[in-house]
Chains A and B, each alone.
Chain A
């Protein structure tokens, strides 16, 4: 298992557009990815679950993956979140 913590920078939080791009990014890797936010574990491939979590700008999230490409997955996804996910 590999994990890293990152802060959400999107001014309007994890809404539909960034969430769907996030899910697409997760789909590039074979290792299942999870997000931990406010103590809840959320499947990283679920747009709906991510939106339902109501993650806001400035919230810290932990990205974790377990599997063959876990490190590459977490690094890439964290970099993607830091980049603002297209917002």
Chain B
């Protein structure tokens, strides 16, 4: 028995047998062919196989993830179908070149030409043509990746990185655990695993080598451990824990359809975080009372050009309609130089997290912001849409945004377009500056939502992705807790709703503090809605306040954590 450690990215216990899914190596030996007709047949069979396989993947992707993601794959089919390009490859085969070389040379030529254009959009397509080359090569070499949709029940997937196409192929109930060699809490792999409620441990060094196909493992996604060939007592303990979690899930069902109240009956709101309009469906199914954070970046990242006002309007309207009149807080574009969106014209920055991003970018690029704000206003006619501004640091930013919105409202009045005249406009509180100025900001905001992830990072001046300083990144740190308390108090005194949309909102250890501080709205992952409702329900206001008083006297993150943990165990 051996235990591997990694990042606890998606909670739960998975007991199953390993299947290592590795990207096939596409090495081959160049040959000269004499039967060129047969080689051309082999070449075309490979393309046909690739097209059929990719189309099936695209269909699955469209169904399980979304049509936008599927477009990437159908684009690959369009590329390889190019008759001129195929003709060039055939010419090489006619001259005695083997299919693998013909394919590689022509694809590499095109990739090089794309890169030489100097046009960002076309240069990006070079990656696509390399993907196509890899896919057709895999067909020629008979090394098609393992079809995950066919794996047996009780499979633990072990892979370098969980790709969207792998995710698309996972059938519910077959994969009981995921182990990867890369990725962190907020990586693509982690988000997908949590969305599918599959226990996952990420960043396990050399997992693909250390774990052999067929070996039994216990994946503990809550602790971040993978136990290889568990002893009988470990196995039975894991089984027990797994049963306990299932029972807990069952127990939580009694909170379905209930209002979210503290033990003494104080009502709070419990919303969900979403990244796409479709996610609102899951949020509603999981009994969220609204959407507390709708990240709009997907619209921009998934597109090759600036999404139009109509495209954005349709996306926001769709989400609003799914929410059926429940509140939906939509965060305006939160993006900067750390994200590569060619058409947005970001320049490289030495320190993008402190740089030209989010509301700073939007206020400087009114042409971009106008499109989004007008789309949001139009969609507000279809539900309780509220506008949230990210990375606010000063009062003037909020006033500037409000001025823009008033101007667009006047445009719509002239055009006779419907919108919600009382739309709420609030700030995401995620910088120390905003937390310190919360009382003044409250005068120009209809609500606050505390983004604990960035507030923790900016308050502690540390990058959570940097292994050397990650130890400082902790919401348990008294500096962060004081900051949060200050924001909630200021908001409540001004009579505006204060919510929280970071990971800390769903942390059962911290919930008594939020109850004591008077947090009015919790926005959590859809999967955590019921557990959060149950955790809030455990505390009465008086108990929580007495407890918080003790906690707030402590001076270190470690002491805070120890004390919170003690209570949890009581």
Q: Which residues from chain A sit less than 8 Å from chain B, CB to CB?
A: 12-13, 15-17, 20, 43, 45-49, 51-54, 56, 87
Task: List the B residue with the shortest CB-CB distance to A54.
Answer: B117
Counting residue pairs across A and B whose Cβ atoms lie within 8 Å, the total is: 53
**A15 pairs with B82, CB closer than 8 A:** no
The residues of A that contact B113 with a CB separation of less than 8 Å are 52
Nearest residue, chain A, Cβ from B109: A52
Q: Can you name 30 A-B residue pairings with CB atoms under 8 Å? A: A12-B304, A13-B119, A13-B121, A13-B122, A15-B119, A15-B121, A16-B75, A16-B121, A17-B304, A20-B78, A45-B83, A45-B84, A46-B82, A46-B85, A47-B78, A47-B79, A48-B82, A48-B84, A48-B129, A49-B82, A51-B125, A52-B110, A52-B113, A52-B114, A52-B122, A54-B116, A54-B117, A54-B118, A56-B119, A87-B305
Q: Which residues of B contact A53 (CB under 8 A)?
A: 117
Inter-chain contacts of A20 with B (CB < 8 A)? 78
CB distance B84 to A49 under 8 Å?
yes
Check if B53 is an interface residue, CB within 8 A of chain A. Answer: no
B interface residues with partner A (beta carbon < 8 Å) = 75, 78-79, 82-85, 110, 113-114, 116-119, 121-122, 125, 129, 304-305, 343
* Alpha-carbon separation in the docked complex, A45 to B305 (Å): 24
Tell me the minimal C-beta distance from A24 to chain B in angstroms. 10
Q: How far is the CA of A16 from the CA of B126 in the complex (A)?
A: 12
Given contacts A12-B121, A13-B121, A43-B84, contact A48 B343 (CB under 8 A): no
Measured in the bound complex, the distance between the Cα atoms of B129 and A16 in whole Å is 12
**Cα A53 to Cα B114 with chains together (Å):** 8
Given contacts A46-B83, A46-B85, A49-B84, list 16 more A-B pairs with CB under 8 A.
A12-B305, A13-B121, A15-B119, A15-B122, A16-B75, A16-B121, A16-B304, A47-B79, A47-B82, A51-B114, A52-B110, A53-B117, A54-B116, A54-B117, A54-B118, A87-B305
How close is A87's CB to chain B, nearest CB, in angstroms?
8
Chain B positions within 8 Å of A17 at CB level? 304
Q: What are the residues of chain A within 8 A of B85 when measuring CB–CB? A: 46, 48-49
Could you tell me if A52 and B84 are in contact, using CB atoms closer than 8 angstroms? no
Complex: A46 Cα to B304 Cα, angstroms: 20
Pairwise interchain contact B117-A12, C-beta atoms closer than 8 A: no
A12 to B122, CA, bound (A): 10
Complex contact A46–B84 (CB within 8 A): yes
Q: Are A16 and B305 in contact (CB under 8 A)?
A: no
CB-CB < 8 A to A56: which residues of B?
Answer: 119
Known pairs A43-B84, A46-B85, A54-B117; A12 contacts B343 (CB<8 A): yes
Once the chains bind, are B119 and A48 in contact (CB under 8 Å)?
no
A16, A45, A48, A54: residue with the most chain B Cβ atoms closer than 10 Å: A48
User: Which residues of the other chain, A, contact B114 by a CB distance below 8 angstroms?
Assistant: 51-52
Given the complex, which residues of B lie within 8 Å of A87, measured CB to CB? Answer: 305
| B122–A48 CB distance below 8 A | no
CB distance from A28 to the nearest CB of B (A): 15
Contacts of A16 in B (CB 8 A): 75, 78, 121, 125, 304
Q: Complex Cα distance A49/B126, Å? A: 13
Write out the residue numbers on chain B whose beta carbons fall within 8 Å of the beta carbon of A51: 114, 122, 125
Find chain A residues with CB under 8 A from B343 CB. 12
Question: Bound complex: CA of A48 vs CA of B110, how far in Å?
Answer: 7
Residues of chain B contacted by A12 (CB below 8 angstroms)? 121, 304-305, 343
Nearest A residue (CB) for B106: A48
| Cβ contact within 8 Å between A48 and B305 | no
In whole angstroms, what is the CA distance A17 to B75 when docked?
A: 9
Return chain B residues, CB-CB under 8 Å to A43.
Answer: 84
A87 to B308, CA, bound (A): 11
CA A13 – CA B343 in complex, angstroms? 12
Most buried by A among B75, B84, B118: B84
Q: Which chain A residues border B121 with CB–CB below 8 Å?
A: 12-13, 15-16
Closest residue of chain B to A10 (Cβ to Cβ) is B305
The complex places the Cα of A41 from the Cα of B129 at a distance, in Å, of 22
B74 CB, min distance to chain A CBs, angstroms? 10
